Homo-oligomer: A and B are copies of this chain.
Amino acid sequence: MDELKVSFLPANEDVYVLPGTSVLEAAERAGILIENPCASTGTCGKCKVKIISGHTKQEPSQHLSAAETEEGCCLACQTQVLDDCVVEVPRESLASGVRQILSTGDKSEFDLSPAIAKKFFALSPPSREDFVSDLDRLRHVLGEYEIPYPLLKSLPEFLRANSWQGTASIASGRIVSIEAGDTRDEMFGIAIDLGTTSIVGALFSLTDGEEMAVSAVMNPQTNYGADVISRINLIREDAKYLAKLHDTCIAAINSIIASLVEKTGADTAKIYRIAIAGNSTMQEILMGIDPSALGELPFVQAFTESQTVLAGELGIDINPLAEILIFSQVGGFVGGDTVAAMATTTIDERDEPTLIIDIGTNGEIVLANEGSLFAASAAAGPALEGAKISQGMRAADGAIEKIVFEDDQLVFNVIGNTQPRGICGSALIDVVAELLRYGILSEAGRMLSRGNVQDSCPAHLSERIVDCEEGLAFEIASAEESAGGHPIRLTQKDVSELQLAVGAIRAGTQILLARCEIDASQLGSILMAGAFGNYIRIKNACRIGLIPPLPKAKIHFIGNAALYGAKKCLLVQESRDYIDRLAEKTVHVDLSMDPSFQEHFATAMFFPE
């Protein structure tokens, strides 16, 4: 089935979905989170959007006036896309809790207060009556700022060559640059999400907070290992890999900067600050710190508080005296990206118990309850990223990313709209959830043979159960349908791998809930962080037990919280104290040391009823 392109304005995000997908779901997939307090029942009317072009199927609603309908307005949860569409999302429809995330090109989200300020100065030249030193002359006008040695060194020459005028940029009481002329309107900063798999950077004008460009690259460290554990082990085996991985990381960041500068024409010397959030391994390698201690019990980090390093010290191609802010960390594998997610959602200020889940090879879980914060990292393994799954693959071209069982057919969506080559994590969740729904998998995760399925199971599904070398398997795509010429199947072993991954995250969640002596049903909301979270179907994730079964209205995607948190730290100077407070306040729960973990894990191996 052909996928459709849905473009969202003003964020300018595109997404490809199956026909019949709701605009609300498409928007979530695009990282654009729309108000949905009624859980898509169409009763609240808060998810109004405007269809600019494209064919859709809409349910009528009392919340829409005739004029609105005439203009193309509709409720996102009650509208299905039937064709390529362009959809405009008005500001008031954005989910308030995470509205900020989506503010690409939007200048007004924050009370902008970057740690950098620029001041123009015009000094009176020395005279026979006024012969104070150059530095004092500057300070009398600018203020009593600390001046780094390289700037002091060139100060006398600069002042005389530039008629005693110029512009200084100042960060936390320290002069970062002194430039000729009045350059107050050129002041840039970069927020970076330093991920294991990909690195994303966004360039901001710090004069008005405008996001001017975004650029992303694959993390070239993947050449040395797909996940953090394999990279840590490489360094543990041979210390030379620390320098290699570090250099690779810096080169990748520099390539992002080069791309951002090319897109915007910004002057690299006028980029005065970078805020970076990543997991603990990525942050330590970035800093050239040996992460070996993260590779052995009890998983010790090098630092907790946020750190700053000068760009020149790291070899990052911006103003060499600019500070690179690296996020605070909680402990073990609960790193800067998790702190960024906490800061993004101001989780410590929420009235009801709130859970953040960031699904990945390490699943990070944070639970906030009555002012207390607990965080854990669950070693889910790479199954959810498609590894260890017989036909598994990353979410790349050719990957089946969504599977829906209908009464008369099995529908799947392939990334890149090509013949399928395998399935990625989100489709793995879909197919297991659907198999449970149709009774083809038991609660224990055992696949039933064709003869043992219930009569209610449609024949077109039971016929897909095959008995192959590896035992029973469920055929998703036939050899003819697939790109590789061999069938794409889910094996019994694949199911077991998923059970292990889900079980780890579920047991972690259970332990945090137990720490707070609350039950999942008492949660006010669940916030799904990270790229993977964006692409899963909540219903199916609940069905297999990956997230607690809460009403859909209480479950929200918060998109790339690491990038958002980094952006917040770049644009709002008080945020640094906030992320340090969050990291200090959060209790790191080491699951491997929790006596009840094995018990919870064993229970979590059973799918929910």
Contact = CB atoms under 8 A, between A and B. Distances in A.
Interface of A: 126-128, 131-136, 149, 152-157, 160, 287-293, 297-305, 307, 309-310, 313, 329, 331-332, 588, 590, 593
Q: How many monomers of this protein are in the complex?
A: 2
A134 B298 CA distance: 12
A153 B588 contact: no
Contacts of A302: 133-135, 152, 155-156
Given A134-B293, A136-B303, A149-B307, 18 more contacts: A126-B298, A128-B298, A128-B593, A131-B299, A131-B331, A131-B588, A133-B302, A133-B331, A134-B300, A134-B302, A135-B305, A136-B304, A136-B305, A152-B307, A156-B289, A156-B291, A156-B302, A160-B292
Contacts of A149: 287, 307, 309-310, 313
Contacts of A152: 287, 289, 302-303, 307
A137 to B, nearest CB: 8
Nearest to A583: B133
Nearest to A135: B303
Nearest to A137: B300
A304 B132 contact: yes
B133 A290 contact: no
A288 B150 CA distance: 9
B153 A288 contact: yes
A287 B152 CA distance: 9
Nearest to A131: B298
23 contacts: A126-B298, A126-B300, A131-B332, A131-B588, A132-B331, A133-B304, A133-B329, A134-B302, A134-B303, A136-B304, A136-B305, A149-B309, A149-B310, A149-B313, A152-B302, A152-B307, A154-B290, A155-B302, A156-B290, A156-B293, A156-B300, A156-B302, A157-B290
B293 A160 contact: yes
A152 to B, nearest CB: 7
A155 B290 CA distance: 9
A151 B396 CA distance: 41
A548 B590 CA distance: 80
A302 B300 CA distance: 47
A597 B160 CA distance: 29
Contact of A133 (B126, B303, B309): B303
A149 B288 CA distance: 10
Contacts of A313: 149
Contacts of A288: 153
A443 B127 CA distance: 38
Contacts of A157: 290, 292
A593 B129 CA distance: 8
Contacts of A127: 298
Contact of A134 (B155, B301, B593): B301
A300 B303 CA distance: 45
Contacts of A128: 297-298, 590, 593
